[in-house]
Amino acid sequence: MRPIELTPLFASLQSLTGIGPRLILLMRKCVNLPAGITEPRVLDLLWHLPTGVVDRRAEPAIAEAVPGSIATLKVRVLKHKPPPRGNNRAPYKVQVEDDTGKLDLVFFHAERKFIERQLPVGEERYVSGRVERYSDKLQMSHPDYIVPPEARGDLPMLEPVYPLTAGLSGKIVQKATRQALERLRPVPEWQEATWIKARAWPDFSDALQRLHKPTDGADVSAGGAPWQRLAYDELLAGQIALALVRQNFKSRPGRIVKGDGSLRAKLADALPFALTNAQREAMREIEADMGAPRRMLRLLQGDVGSGKTVVALLAMAIAVEAGGQAALMAPTEVLARQHLETIGPLADKAGLRVGLLTGREKGRGRKDILDRLASGDIDIIIGTHALFQADVVFRDLAFAVIDEQHRFGVHQRLQLQSKGNGSGTDVLVMTATPIPRTLVMTHYGDLDVSRLTEKPPGRKPIVTKKIPTGKMEKLVERLRTQLADGAQVYWVCPLIESSEVSELAAAEERHAHLVQLFGKENVGLLHGGMQDKAKDAAMEAFSSGQLKILVATTVIEVGVNVPNANIMVIEHAERFGLAQLHQLRGRVGRGTRESYCMLLYKAPLGETAKARLEMMEETEDGFLIAEKDLELRGGGEVLGARQSGAPGFRVAEVPGFEALLTAARDDARLLLAADPMLASPRGQALRTLLYIFECDEAVRLFRAA
């Protein structure tokens, strides 16, 4: 159960005074919510950290005020100077003074009543804002604050600046945040005393207080003590949660899944090629894991096209040889079908019975699949998260493959595993994202890793070139020649941040343009907003060669296999991350044709974008690219994770991330070795930490154990 002192933090933001449904909508837009949470809570606001401060501490006399700077002035109101009648453009001015001089407060489009109420003639006020010189006079237009002397304490002398959205003012966020801070109850210290002392880190509540009510500009810097402390808290929570999941996997007995090799031999016969060394090595590792009396949790990493699917199929065959069933879960419908197309014919030849279960299977068809799964009539089921639904029951799920592409998390992995019949389903996670080793542990914990570093033989290099948008005509000419020669082209349209609508519009516009150039019958369109049927039809038409050019938003990133497609055009390539570019490029170069990747960019290129595109020109090695990407970002975000909608960190992306992460991993390891049940006083305190960072799933494992 979540500790009671945290309850106020998990209440809806609406429980704060002044926050109603309208503001909630705006808050939802600008605070970063964890996956699955739609209604922002008090805690989410506390994690909405300032990007800087406005310093109002200068309190000069009027004569000493420096034009251009922010100042807080103590003044007397002298007189009001409303604009002349009939001139709406002229501002409303209020002249104020102190013993050293005079200054005008200036209001455009003023609400007269408001000004009269705020600034009664003859009274004293504190005003804070930017001082300006206008001809030979000093003025302050639209002061940020106007308060009477008795309310001087309400003036934020160091005012935090928050990321905002249209309609949501900094003042509203500040006010709400102050209330949120009052909801903090004392929590036990979960960090080691010597560790925080050495770094002069504040305790948890102090850290939040100092970030939201800074008393020093350095307080809100991501390199400052308060932020660093919270970053470490988050990383430690993550590392402990992952270690617990893993510990749980290991502590519960797994089953020995051993086959006689008969199905694998049939599959090998059916395959038109020999396995690469990397594939063979991965199979050896997987076979050893499955055959051991513990649970398997292994990550299979390999570039798109490196042959992961074949490995998955052979591994699933082991489970079936051993008398069990296997499941392969894909992140999207399209991918699930693609897997079925690849695996189906091979499986048929080996006598494996394969089924498909996605959100689209309904009614009679779905029931039929469920019956056959329960009776053991299906050996291998391929599907989407439809496989999680409660009424999906296996006769004996021995092995699950999760084709991840960033779309699942620890939670889903636990869920699918729970579909096993209690004796411990082995799990293989596949990812096409070449995550650098340092980051594997952040996102997956300390699990076993197999890497397919070598491409299947016979692949030709993909010629990659960056081209300024200005040269699009030349590109079009070259495409014409290529198309005449039987080429097929993917044309990926710009990624536009946070606006699906305009992303779609851009794709439609490009589609129309290319239709004009190449003819309606040759150019298709594929985007996320299309109906499943229309999507399939477009894919099918491209796949069969009927369409020559497929204009697409980034939906194709998640994986389609059209071996004949040999040209990838990426518009506004400068807006994509390296990992995404790499994944997109992986869609071509699968057949026998010479392949090309054209990176269209809008000049001038920023330095980082330039480095990215040049890296793409230089190499096709996904692991190298991933390391470079990490270097360019210098942060903890997994490559492309943000673009593809995976939940990132709340506060951990700070300078020094990697060092903090390594420390957190070691800390978690030592800690769990000494206190595997988190029963010690520090262990108990850490449970609170896990709840704060919403790793409840991990805490729950104690009860399951």
**Interaction site with ligand ADP (CB under 6 A):** 273, 275-276, 279, 302, 304-310, 432, 456-457
279 binds, among Mg ion, ligand ADP, none (CB under 5 to 8 A by kind): ligand ADP
Tell whether residue 309 is a contact of Mg ion (CB under 5 A).
yes
Cβ proximity to ligand ADP, 384 vs 688, nearer residue: 384
Closest approach of ligand ADP to the CB of residue 452, in Å: 7
Cβ proximity to ligand ADP, 21 vs 458, nearer residue: 458
Tell whether residue 405 is a contact of Mg ion (CB under 5 A).
no
Cβ proximity to ligand ADP, 355 vs 589, nearer residue: 589
Cβ proximity to ligand ADP, 23 vs 304, nearer residue: 304
How distant, in Å, are the alpha carbons of 223, 317, 636 from that of 207?
13, 53, 21
Closest approach of ligand ADP to the CB of residue 273, in Å: 4
Closest approach of ligand ADP to the CB of residue 194, in Å: 46
424, 253 in Cβ contact below 8 A? yes
Cβ proximity to ligand ADP, 106 vs 346, nearer residue: 346
Q: What is the DSSP string of 53-77?
A: EEE------GGGPPTTSEEEEEEEE
233, 689 in Cβ contact below 8 A? yes
Amino acid at 628: K
Task: List CB contacts of 390: < 8 A, sequence separation 6 or more.
Answer: none
Cβ proximity to ligand ADP, 247 vs 276, nearer residue: 276
* Residue 484 to residue 653: CA distance in whole angstroms: 49
Cβ proximity to ligand ADP, 160 vs 586, nearer residue: 586
493 binds, among Mg ion, ligand ADP, none (CB under 5 to 8 A by kind): none
Cβ proximity to ligand ADP, 183 vs 337, nearer residue: 337
Query: CB pairs under 8 A, 24+ apart, for 31-40?
Result: 32/648, 32/650, 34/647, 34/650, 34/694, 35/409, 35/646, 35/647, 39/12, 39/13, 40/12, 40/13
User: H or E stretch including 333?
Assistant: helix 333-350
Q: Which stretch binds Mg ion (CB under 5 A): 182-190, 304-312, 357-365, 678-686?
A: 304-312
Closest approach of ligand ADP to the CB of residue 275, in Å: 5
Give the largest CA-CA distance in the chain.
98
* Residue 392 to residue 313: CA distance in whole angstroms: 21
Closest approach of ligand ADP to the CB of residue 308, in Å: 3
Q: Which stretch binds Mg ion (CB under 5 A): 226-234, 240-248, 301-309, 486-494?
A: 301-309
Tell whether residue 433 is a contact of Mg ion (CB under 5 A).
no
Cβ proximity to ligand ADP, 79 vs 280, nearer residue: 280
195 binds, among ligand ADP, Mg ion, none (CB under 5 to 8 A by kind): none
Tell whether residue 301 is a contact of Mg ion (CB under 5 A).
no
- DSSP secondary-structure letter at 599? E
Cβ proximity to ligand ADP, 228 vs 279, nearer residue: 279
265 three-class SS: helix
Tell whether residue 332 is a contact of Mg ion (CB under 5 A).
no
* Residue 633 to residue 512: CA distance in whole angstroms: 36
296 three-class SS: coil
Q: How many residues does the chain have?
A: 705
Q: Is 607 exposed, middle or buried (0-12, 13-18, 19+ CB in 10 A)?
A: exposed
304 binds, among ligand ADP, Mg ion, none (CB under 5 to 8 A by kind): ligand ADP
Taking alpha carbons only, the member of 290, 276, 617, 250 closest to residue 447 is: 250
Q: What angle do CA 209, 214, 220 make, to 5 degrees?
A: 95
Tell whether residue 306 is a contact of Mg ion (CB under 5 A).
no
Regarding beta strands 158-161 and 52-55, do their DSSP bridges make them parallel or antiparallel, or are they unpaired? antiparallel
Closest approach of ligand ADP to the CB of residue 414, in Å: 24
Tell whether residue 450 is a contact of Mg ion (CB under 5 A).
no
Q: What tokens does 654 get?
A: 């700070």
308, 302 in Cβ contact below 8 A? yes
Q: Is 375 exposed, middle or buried (0-12, 13-18, 19+ CB in 10 A)?
A: exposed
Closest approach of ligand ADP to the CB of residue 346, in Å: 9
Cβ proximity to Mg ion, 430 vs 651, nearer residue: 430
275 binds, among ligand ADP, Mg ion, none (CB under 5 to 8 A by kind): ligand ADP
89, 106 in Cβ contact below 8 A? no
Q: What tokens does 302 get?
A: 């390999």
276 binds, among Mg ion, ligand ADP, none (CB under 5 to 8 A by kind): ligand ADP
Cβ proximity to Mg ion, 424 vs 586, nearer residue: 586
3-state helix, strand, coil in the chain (%, to 5): 45, 20, 35
User: Which residue has the CB atom at the shortest distance from Mg ion?
Assistant: 309
Closest approach of ligand ADP to the CB of residue 432, in Å: 6
Tell whether residue 384 is a contact of Mg ion (CB under 5 A).
no
Tell whether residue 464 is a contact of Mg ion (CB under 5 A).
no
Closest approach of Mg ion to the CB of residue 399, in Å: 18
Q: Name which of residues 90 to 129 contact Mg ion (CB under 5 A).
A: none
Q: Which stretch binds Mg ion (CB under 5 A): 95-103, 305-313, 459-467, 688-696?
A: 305-313
Closest approach of Mg ion to the CB of residue 388, in Å: 21
Closest approach of Mg ion to the CB of residue 431, in Å: 11
Closest approach of ligand ADP to the CB of residue 309, in Å: 3
* Residue 510 to residue 492: CA distance in whole angstroms: 10
Binding site for Mg ion (CB under 5 A): 309
